[in-house]
Chain A
């Protein structure tokens, strides 16, 4: 293992990302959960930066760390909620869940370590190339995704609005 700057940065960022996720699960206050989630999003943006994906890193900070976290905080503040929320889970249930997740993780790690992954990084994708690709080759799924967003919006409104009469 080579101990260079990149490795150290990756180590710190991944510990931060995992730490944030663990805090999110263990936190008892909803507000703490939202903040630890924002922390995880932010660390993941750093990992994207290490992987030469500048555009995605910026978008990650803008959308996830910025918009989504703020949205969640607003959602928490504007709705009535019990501050301390601790759902009761039986130990048997917990054991089974952890068992399945560990098996899954083990399976995926096994496959990844068995596969000869070549370590040649590709050239970073420019925003221009990304735009061309989205609006030329992938224009049909792009338009379909806008219909999808409209559906989500309409759905959010009809589920959230007060009923008439």
Chain B
């Protein structure tokens, strides 16, 4: 086994390389070309890069896991699946962004944010994971603040940067204790050291680092009580960026959390501390997010803030399998994440178009949508039903999977909270539906929808209904993925 990068089969990094090269190319082309030419080129290149990276992810699917330079980069089914999710989501967000004229750097920053997210799922080394996280975070701070003249955007960017920076500091501080315990940044070495540390009096160290890391991750995936930044940031940022934060950024946070917690802190399972301490802690966070997110959403009248609180609640649902573990941990989480991303992107597309056409950020903007654009209001209705988790939609199947995993592992209190808060959430989701059908519109003009947005809505609605009616294929596919390989050493065989 070599010790230089080129001793390894570096073609496994193809998806990341495509994104890096395109991002670099975009900055250069921006200099060379005139603005008139560079804008369409930028749009085309970013779509092309995401598509090509997606092609490499698909062709790499099914290969055995492979690591480069002591796991500072690794590919396994876990990372490939998440990369696929990020690329599909980013493709839609790029299409969504085309609706308005934006500066070229917008696309460059979106690609680097995507690169950060991709690196966060393809390493088992704290340094790569942290740099990936920061790449995603810093690109997002800039993207939120890109509208300099808008006061709300400035406020959002400041809040996001300060709280995001503080949460990164918490994660880094927690990681430093892990490094101190093991003398290595490799998660497998850390796992060994934690195992030994727990039996030789270093238990307090492990818990301190765990607590710090959980606080940091809590901010990143916006679970209560660390959620306060989310509504302001979601409201202040441009709609595609809000969508990116609510979908890709959150999914990347969850993937990172899965990898770090399960790898570094797995010795806690054998000592029984996971069941005794960690699981109740994570369940408390999940329960708080569901309760706070869903109850505060009841009072919201701003459409984007309402979606922000809804996404806080969804983070709570997604946290449950990680806390309870169990057979369906990965399939249920991956299924819900895929469905959630599709729902949230499509819902934000409609929210943006409707509030834009009406010139009002309030959910009043939806008043009488049925009379203005019947097809659009039907799509929105299906999406809201899916977000609420009612039958024949994919959201229902996802929630059933999450809840059945909680029941299977005999956590009945959290199951009750999940069901109760879901019922509460009907109220505000149906509040929008009531506006759509039972209120009279301000005017009769139909809502304009561009073809890119039509494409996003078409694909999402097909997936939400398709996976709601025939969820078996995806569940079977996710069930057959070799999740365990993400947490075992890569042997680098077969290359």
**Does B205 lie within 8 Å of A111, measured CB to CB?**
yes
Please name the residue on chain B nearest to A139 by beta carbon.
B5
Q: For the complex formed, measure the closest distance between the CB of B159 and the CB atoms of chain A, giving whole angstroms.
A: 15
Q: Which of A135-165 contact B (CB under 8 A)?
A: 136-141, 144-145, 147-148, 150-152, 154-155, 158-159, 163
Enumerate chain A residues within 8 angstroms of B4, measured Cβ to Cβ: 136
Enumerate chain A residues within 8 angstroms of B109, measured Cβ to Cβ: 151, 154-155
A contact patch SS: helix
Which of A145, A155, A163 is packed against the most chain B CB atoms within 10 Å?
A155
Interface string of A110-153 (1 = CB under 8 A from B): 11001110000000000000000000111111001101101110
Q: Which of B84-126 contact A (CB under 8 A)?
A: 103, 105, 108-109, 112, 115-116, 119, 123, 125
Interface string of B58-72 (1 = CB under 8 A from A): 000000000011101
Q: Which of B1-18 contact A (CB under 8 A)?
A: 3-5
**Does A115 lie within 8 Å of B201, measured CB to CB?**
yes
| With A147-B23, A148-B131 as contacts: A140 and B68 at CB distance below 8 Å | yes
A115 to B72, CA, bound (A): 30
Decide if A87 is an interface residue (CB 8 Å cutoff): no
Q: For the complex formed, measure the closest distance between the CB of B146 and the CB atoms of chain A, giving whole angstroms.
A: 7
Decide if A108 is an interface residue (CB 8 Å cutoff): yes
Q: For the complex formed, measure the closest distance between the CB of A89 and the CB atoms of chain B, giving whole angstroms.
A: 15
B contact patch SS: helix
**Does A158 lie within 8 Å of B112, measured CB to CB?**
no
Q: For the complex formed, measure the closest distance between the CB of A44 and the CB atoms of chain B, giving whole angstroms.
A: 16
Size band of the interface chain B makes with A: 35 or more
Decide if A5 is an interface residue (CB 8 Å cutoff): no
Decide if A107 is an interface residue (CB 8 Å cutoff): yes
| With A137-B3, A151-B112, A154-B109 as contacts: A144 and B139 at CB distance below 8 Å | no
Q: For the complex formed, measure the closest distance between the CB of A23 and the CB atoms of chain B, giving whole angstroms.
A: 22
Q: For the complex formed, measure the closest distance between the CB of A41 and the CB atoms of chain B, giving whole angstroms.
A: 17
**Does B135 lie within 8 Å of A141, measured CB to CB?**
no
**Does A107 lie within 8 Å of B208, measured CB to CB?**
yes
Enumerate chain B residues within 8 angstroms of A115, measured Cβ to Cβ: 201-202, 204-205
Enumerate chain B residues within 8 angstroms of A159, measured Cβ to Cβ: 142, 145-146, 148
Decide if B316 is an interface residue (CB 8 Å cutoff): no
Q: For the complex formed, measure the closest distance between the CB of B290 and the CB atoms of chain A, giving whole angstroms.
A: 25
| With A144-B119, A151-B138, A159-B145 as contacts: A111 and B208 at CB distance below 8 Å | yes
Enumerate chain B residues within 8 angstroms of A108, measured Cβ to Cβ: 208
| With A111-B208, A115-B205, A155-B138 as contacts: A136 and B132 at CB distance below 8 Å | no
What 7 new A-B contacts, CB under 8 Å, besides A115-B205, A140-B73? A107-B208, A111-B205, A137-B70, A144-B128, A145-B131, A150-B112, A154-B108
A-B contact pairs, 24 of them (CB 8 A): A115-B204, A116-B201, A116-B202, A136-B3, A136-B69, A137-B3, A138-B127, A139-B69, A140-B123, A141-B125, A144-B119, A144-B132, A144-B135, A147-B20, A147-B112, A148-B134, A151-B112, A151-B139, A151-B142, A152-B138, A154-B27, A154-B108, A159-B145, A163-B149
Closest 8 A/B residue pairs (Cβ): A155-B142, A141-B128, A111-B204, A141-B127, A111-B208, A140-B72, A144-B131, A141-B131
